[in-house]
Amino acid sequence: MKKILMVCLGNICRSPLAEGILKSKVDTSKIEVSSAGTGGWHVGELPDPRSIEVAQQHGLDITNQRGKQFSTYDFEIYDHIFVMDNSNYRDVVKLATSASEKEKVQLILEETHPGKKLDVPDPYYGGDQGFENVYTMLEEACEKIAARL
Ligand code: 4NP
């Protein structure tokens, strides 16, 4: 079973969307997809209502998800760790204890814009349009990931 982890800061806006989108594109009996935040403020919480809404508008239900915090143990569990921005990348890689663990970590937008090191912008403090924008970016990136898995 291949295991994929999506990571952002709070695990309520971006990575829950990435988890839901990738799950909709793969055979979940063969590929496990989960998400986590580098911060622990929202552990146990539902995704942000704006993420739930934008997912719903695209036919996805992400209300089964609950916030989790990334831990070093996740390097052992997951084969690929997709981070949403450069700050997440630094925070996750800091916790890696070997080169092979570090190699599991990739900025998700490298899928669509290789070499550009682009961030999925954090929509938390913005309006609804930010969530639609994030959805579009993640949809394109997850399409590439799913095609390769
Ligand atoms: P996310 O957005 O990393 O996409 O889940 C955020 C959600 C919450 C916070 C920051 C970012 N926060 O500071 O609580």
C-alpha to C-alpha distance for 39 and 123, rounded to whole angstroms: 16
Atom of ligand 1 nearest to the CA of 41: 14
Looking at the annotation, which residues are catalytic? 8, 14, 122
CA angle 86, 121, 9 (to 5 degrees): 60
Q: List the domain boundaries for the chain.
A: 2-148
| pLDDT one-digit tens code per residue, 66-121 | 999 999 999 999 999 999 999 999 999 999 999 999 999 999 999 999 999 999 99
Q: What is the pLDDT of residue 128?
A: 81
Residues with CB under 6 A from ligand 1: 8-14, 37, 41, 122, 124
- Mean pLDDT of the 37-58 span: 98
For 139, counting Cβ atoms within 10 Å of its Cβ (0-12 exposed, 13-18 middle, 19+ buried), the class is middle
Domain 2-148: give its CATH architecture.
3-Layer(aba) Sandwich (3.40)
Q: What's the pTM?
A: 0.98
Q: Name the residue with the closest Cα to ligand 1, atom 12.
A: 10
Question: Closest Cα to residue 117, out of 125, 105, 129?
Answer: 105
Above 90 in pLDDT, residue 64? Answer: yes
- 139 pLDDT tier (thresholds 50, 70, 90): very high
C-alpha to C-alpha distance for 142 and 19, rounded to whole angstroms: 9
C-alpha to C-alpha distance for 13 and 126, rounded to whole angstroms: 11
